[in-house]
Structures are given as C-alpha cells and as structure tokens.
Amino acid sequence: MPLKSRNMIDEDDPRVSQIGHPAPAWLVNYADLMTELVCFFVILYALSAALNKDIQKAKTQVEDVMKNEKISGEAKVDKEGLRISLSEQGQLAFFESGRADITPRMGEILGKLAPSLVNLTDKNDIIVEGHTDNIPVHSGAFASNWELSTARATQVVRFLVNQKRFPPSKMAAIGYGEYRPIAPNNTPDNRAKNRRVVFFVKNLPALSPSKSEK
C-alpha cells in the first residue's frame, strides 16, 4: 500500500477543482480597464506638470518685465491658467482716449512681453481681455464701453499677430467693458486700475483647427 503524505489533498477532494480556476471574464475586463485608467492619469499628470512648468517660467519672466518697466498689475497662476493683468497708472496710457489705437508706450510694453508669451502658444490658447472704467464713451465710433473694450483687445491681438508673429489660430479677443472692475470707479487712480488689459493663458492645451475650419 503506497504511503500517503499527511499534507496531500485527495484528487476527489472538492477543493482540488477550485485550484487554478480562471477568473470570471468581467473581472479580467475590469482589471484591464483599471490598468488603462491608471496609465491615462499618469500621462495626464506628466502633461500637466510639463505645461505648468512652462507657465510658471512665463509668469516669472513677465513679472521681471513688469518690475523693470514699472508697470502696474500682476501675474498669477490659478487652476484655469496664467492671468496677466496690466493697468494704466499716472501718465501711462495703453490707448488713445476714447479710441482703440495702441499708444507707442503700449507697443513697447507688448514688445517686451511677447517673447515670454509666444512660446506658450505652441500648447495653449491666449485670450486677451479688454476692460474700461465706467466713464461713458463720447466718441461716435463706439456705442458703449463694451464695443470700446472689445476693439482695444482686438488691437492688442492684431499687434501680437502682425508684429510679433503670434499664431492667429491660438489667439482670441474679448471685451468686458466696465462690468468687471477691480476697484471702485470713484477716483482717477481707481478708474486707471480698471482700464486694463488681461492676458489669459488657458491651462488646457490648445486644439488644432480641424480641416473644415482651415
């Protein structure tokens, strides 16, 4: 009679049929899905980190320009992207009064900021916002501060596209008129703060135009 190991399980033991039993199909699919999701989020995190590094670098460069040129405003990064706000102050005017024409000084400022921003257009869209104070427009060229602020933002975009070779497909202009003030419009200094241009570099990568849009 053959010897039997005390730890060996008989072949007819019900537990034998459970050894090596394949996992249900749904569990295999679920595991594959979880693996793909992990890979997706790792790639997304790496992409986000790279984009954020470029934006932080641009922010530092812009702050240096603002400091050296004595420009009032701020540059900050939030969850939506980089926002660069430039406000008028003292004798510094970005545009001719009641008009959308860029002043020579504003052209100089845009020229100094352009190198820091143009590289971001490889991966990001840039929206230029125009803002005004609450003084009504007396020029017949514009019906209200809405039209004036939009025209000013558009002129900034045109300058960057025509003079600094920014890709037009990555640029946009929008005007908010007097309706998003950062200070009460009760003093000349506060009104100057509200007359501003904001560059909004969107955190999400820019989308290439489709063939139908070209």
pLDDT values of the chain reduced to their tens digit, one per residue, 214 residues: 555 555 665 656 565 555 555 667 776 677 777 777 776 655 554 455 445 789 999 999 999 999 999 999 999 999 899 999 999 987 889 999 899 999 999 999 999 999 999 999 999 999 999 999 999 998 789 999 999 999 999 999 999 999 999 999 999 999 999 999 999 999 999 999 999 999 999 986 554 454 444 4
Cα dihedral across residues 142, 148, 152, 157: positive or negative: negative
Q: How far apart are alpha carbons 71 and 91 in whole angstroms? A: 11
According to DSSP, the β-strands at 81-87 and 72-78 are antiparallel
How many CB atoms within 10 Å of residue 169? 15
- Which domains are assigned to the chain? 53-206 (3.30.1330.60)
Cβ 127 vs Cβ 154: under 8 Å: no
* pTM given for the model: 0.74
